[in-house]
Amino acid sequence: MKRMRDHLPSRRIIAVLAAALLATGTAACGNSDTGDGGGKDDGKITLGFSQVGAESGWRTANTTSIKESAAAAGVDLKFDDAQQKQENQIKAIRNFIQQKVDVIAFSPVVESGWDTVLKEAKDAKIPVILTDRSVDSADKSLYKTFLGSDFVKEGRLAGEWLVEQKKGATGPVNIVELQGTTGSAPANDRKKGFAEAIAANPNLKIIASQSGDFTRAGGKQVMEQFLKANPKIDVLFAHNDDMGLGALEAITAAGKVPGKDITIITVDAVKDGMQALADGRFNFIAECSPLLGPQLMDLAKKVHNGEEVPARIETQETTFTQEQAKAALPERKY
C-alpha cells in the first residue's frame, strides 16, 4: 500500500511534464512566432486557394498547375472555384479563416473591394498571397506578395506589334477590342497598355470596345454585334485567346476570313490559341503564363515559415508570331 502511494506523486509529475512538452511542441509546429493562424500541426502546410472560375483555357491550365504543384510539394490544398463571382471568393476566404488554414492564396476576380476580408485574414494572422491578378488596396500590408504577369506590358506588346505592322498605312485602321471581365486587373491593364502603345498613331482607331468576359461565348456574341454595327473592321484586339477563338466563328459566319480580312491579336498563348496562330487565323499573341503553381507552393512555404519574400514577383513571358507559333506548338504544355 505504501509503495502504491509512493508512486502517485511521481506519476503526477510525469503527467505534468508530458503536458508541458506537448504544449511546447505544438507551439513550435504551429509557428505561433511566424504570424501563423494556427492551422493543423501535422508538419504539412494547409493552403486555402480561391480560384476565379473556369472561364478560359488559361484558367484550366492554371488550376491544373496549382493542383499538381500542391501534390508534388506535399501541400494540403483546399481549392475553391468562385465561378467568376467576387462574393463567392469573399465567402471562400472567410471559410479558410474559420478553418485556420496556414496560408491563403487567391486570384481576385476584380481589383476592388477586398480590404475588409483581407483585414480579417490579417487579424487572424493568416498570410495572404495574391496570384495571377492583383487588388487595388492602398494598404500593401494586407498581403505578403503578388505573383503574376505584367498585364500592362502584355497590352503594350500587342499594340507595338500592330503599330509596326501598320507602319506606312495612310487610311484609317479600325480596331475593335474584346475586353476581359469588367473591373478585372487584366482587362483594365491590357486596355491601358494597348491604348498607350497605339496613341501616337492617329490613324489607328479603337472604334468599339466591350467586355466578352474572357469566355468563348462572350467573344462570339460581342464580335457578332461589332460586325453588325461596323461595316469596316480591320483589326481585333482580344484580351485573351478564348474570346478571340469565339470571335473567329462570328467572323467566318459574316463571310470574312480571319487573319486576312481582319488582323487578330490576342493574349495568353494557350494551345488552341497557338494552333489558330500557326494556322494563320490569328496574327499575333502576347503570352501570359498560367504555370504559377510551383512558385506559389514555394512562396506559401516561405511565408508560413516567416521568411521574407519579394513584394512583387513578375512572371517571365514572350510573344509569338505565326512562324514562332508553328515552331513552339509541338513542345507547348498547355
Residue type for 76, please?
D
CA–CA distance, 38 with 123 (Å, rounded to integer): 12
Residues 102, 111, 177, 268: which binds ligand AHR (CB under 6 A)?
A: 268
| Contact (CB, 8 A) for 70 and 45 | no
Contact between 55 and ligand AHR per CB under 6 A: yes
C-beta of 213: minimal distance to ligand AHR in Å? 9
Which of 117, 133, 134, 277 forms a contact with ligand AHR (CB under 6 A)? 133
Shortest distance in whole angstroms from residue 183 CB to ligand AHR: 12
Please name the residue that has the C-alpha cell 500592362: 152
Residue 245 C-alpha cell reads as: 477563338
Residue 78 CA to residue 103 CA, distance in Å, equals 10
Nearer Cβ to ligand AHR, position 54 or 254?
54
Interatomic CA distance for residues 146 and 135, integer angstroms: 9
Helix (H, G, I), strand (E, B) or coil at 264: strand
**What character string, x for contact with ligand AHR (CB under 6 A) and - otherwise, covers 214-243?**
x-------------------------x-x-
Q: CA 289, CA 94: separation in Å to the nearest integer?
A: 28
Among 55-63, 162-170, 250-258, 314-322, the segment contacting ligand AHR (CB under 6 A) = 55-63
Residues 11-40 that bind ligand AHR (CB under 6 A): none
From candidates 175, 204, 267, 297, binder to ligand AHR by CB under 6 A: 267
Supply 104's cell numbers: 491563403
Minimum Å gap between C-beta 132 and ligand AHR is 5
In the bound state with ligand AHR, the residue whose beta carbon lies nearer, of 214 and 284, is 214
- C-beta of 21: minimal distance to ligand AHR in Å? 48
> Which secondary-structure segment (H or E) carries 71?
helix 57-73
Q: What SS3 state is found at 301?
A: helix
DSSP strand pairing (284-287 vs 76-81): unpaired
Q: Which is nearer to ligand AHR, 45 or 264 (CB)?
A: 264
Backbone angles phi, psi at 291, to 5 degrees: -85, 65
Question: Among 132, 177, 189, 287, which residue interacts with ligand AHR (rule: CB under 6 A)?
Answer: 132
262 within 8 A of 253, measured Cβ to Cβ: no
DSSP H helical segments within 37-149, as ranges? 57-73, 86-98, 115-123
Instruction: Work out which of 49, 58, 161, 226 binds ligand AHR, going by CB under 6 A.
Output: 58
How far apart are the two ends of the chain, measured CA to CA in Å? 76
State the pairing for strand pair 319-320/284-287.
antiparallel
Site string for ligand AHR, 273-292 (x = CB under 6 A): ---------------x----
| Smallest separation (angstroms) from ligand AHR to the CB of 188 | 11
**Number of residues located near ligand AHR, criterion CB under 6 A:** 13
CB of 244 to ligand AHR, least distance (A): 10
Hey, what's the torsion of the CAs at 159, 163, 164, 166, to 10 degrees?
130
Q: Judged by CB under 6 A, which of 48, 127, 155, 186 binds ligand AHR?
A: 186
Nearest approach, Cβ of 78 to ligand AHR (angstroms)? 21
Secondary structure letter of residue 305 according to DSSP: T
Give residues in contact with ligand AHR (CB under 6 A): 55-56, 58-59, 132-133, 186, 214, 240, 242, 267-268, 288
